[in-house]
């Protein structure tokens, strides 16, 4: 079991920026990694993912051009930089590992992910 810990959430004004971080006490190098979000009453949504190799990323259409996922192998971290935030970005954000992904690809279907963090709340509010 890989334990993941997210951080960086908070209250942000519309149009603002925040960077979420995720780390683990396990080495994340061999996993595809993803960020997801969920609001009450809705299914968890895939936001972005990054391949094991770090050179392939994918984003849900609603965040393209605003969010950037990255990973730092030395620090054993994955980040989600979120810019130009909108009210509809309000959610609990989770990071997760995909143990079965091809090394050069990633996927944003939450059903494909294995280990999950506890989430960090991001609230966009004026």
Q: pLDDT at residue 101 above 90? A: no
Q: What is the pLDDT of residues 6-51, one digit of tens each?
A: 999 999 999 999 999 999 999 999 999 999 999 999 999 999 999 9
- Rounded CA separation 49/40 (Å): 22
- Specify the pLDDT at position 1: 87
Note the pLDDT of residue 105.
94
Task: Tell me what pLDDT residue 49 has.
Answer: 98
Neighbours of 52 (CB within 10 A): 21
What is the tens place of the pLDDT at every residue in 48-80? 999 999 999 999 999 999 999 999 999 999 999
- Residues 53 and 124: their CA atoms lie apart, in Å, by 32
């Amino acid at each position: 079991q890989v334990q993941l810990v997210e951080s960086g959430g908070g209250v942000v004004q519309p149009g603002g920026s925040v960077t979420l971080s995720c780390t683990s006490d396990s080495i994340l190098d061999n996993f595809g990694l993803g960020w997801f979000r969920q609001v009450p009453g809705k299914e968890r949504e895939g936001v972005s993912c990054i391949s094991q190799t770090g050179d392939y990323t994918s984003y849900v259409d609603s965040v393209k051009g605003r969010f950037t996922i990255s990973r730092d192998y030395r620090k054993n971290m994955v980040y989600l930089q979120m810019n130009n935030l909108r009210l509809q970005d309000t959610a609990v954000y989770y990071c997760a590992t995909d143990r079965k992904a091809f090394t050069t690809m990633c996927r944003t279907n939450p059903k494909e992910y294995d280990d999950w963090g506890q989430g960090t709340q991001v609230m966009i509010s004026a």
